[in-house]
Amino acid sequence: MAANKKRLYIALYPSGGSTGGEKRYHWALLIGPKSEAGAAVPGVQYHVKNHPLGGWAYEEKRVADVRAGTTLLARVVVAKLADEPRLVALLRAQPVVNGDPGWRCRTWVGRALAAVAADGACVGAAQLDWGVVEAFARRYVARKAAAGRYAEGEDMSKPKPTYDLLRGKEIVP
């Protein structure tokens, strides 16, 4: 088996207006390489977006650097990939729900993680329990915010805080 397996991350972004509760963050998944050496580390973002006129829609897009982005707040490693094409097919197959006011991006991410866990073949080592992952990610970003990590004037193009739930340690402060 390859020792440099790609990683699956939970990524949190500001939600674009909501200041608290469940709607505080926009949730997405990122796939990127284990080794993050170099000026930029390309990867792919998978998420659902709520378009004002069209409702919720699935989106996947290449990102120039999975470590950074002007709106990225933090990443949390939740799995090592075993079969990337299988994982991507599983993400693409996740339902997108319109017409339910309680359904949103975090719902999609939580259900996607549950589907990955049920599949059992697309990832290896993993922490896919949505209750654990969501609570940890919220606390992690809150701690970083309280410590001034997202203070005005900070270079938002620099790598963002990243925690590896599999190893139980921060890999980017």
Query: pLDDT value at position 18?
Result: 54
Length of the chain in terms of residues written: 173
Whether 153 shows a pLDDT value over 70: the answer reads no
pTM of the model: 0.93
Indicate if the pLDDT at residue 6 is higher than 70.
yes
- Core vs surface per residue 64-98: b (16+ CB within 10 A) or e: ebbbbbeebbbbbbbbbbbeeeebbebbeebeeee
What is the Cα–Cα distance from 114 to 119, expressed in whole angstroms?
9
Q: How would residue 2 be classed by pLDDT, with cut points 50, 70 and 90?
A: low
Q: What is the mean pLDDT of residues 86-92?
A: 98
> Can you give the pLDDT at residue 19?
57
Ranges of each domain in the chain: 7-156
- The proportion of the chain whose per-residue pLDDT surpasses 90, expressed as a percent, equals 78
For residue range 98-131, list pLDDT tens digits in order.
999 999 999 999 999 999 999 999 999 999 999 9
Residue-level pLDDT at 52: 87
What pLDDT shows up at residue 161? 95
How confident is the model at residue 1, as a pLDDT?
Answer: 44
CB-based contact 171:164 (threshold 8 Å): yes
pLDDT at position 21, please? 66
Per-residue model confidence as pLDDT tens digits over 124-145: 999 999 999 999 999 999 999 9
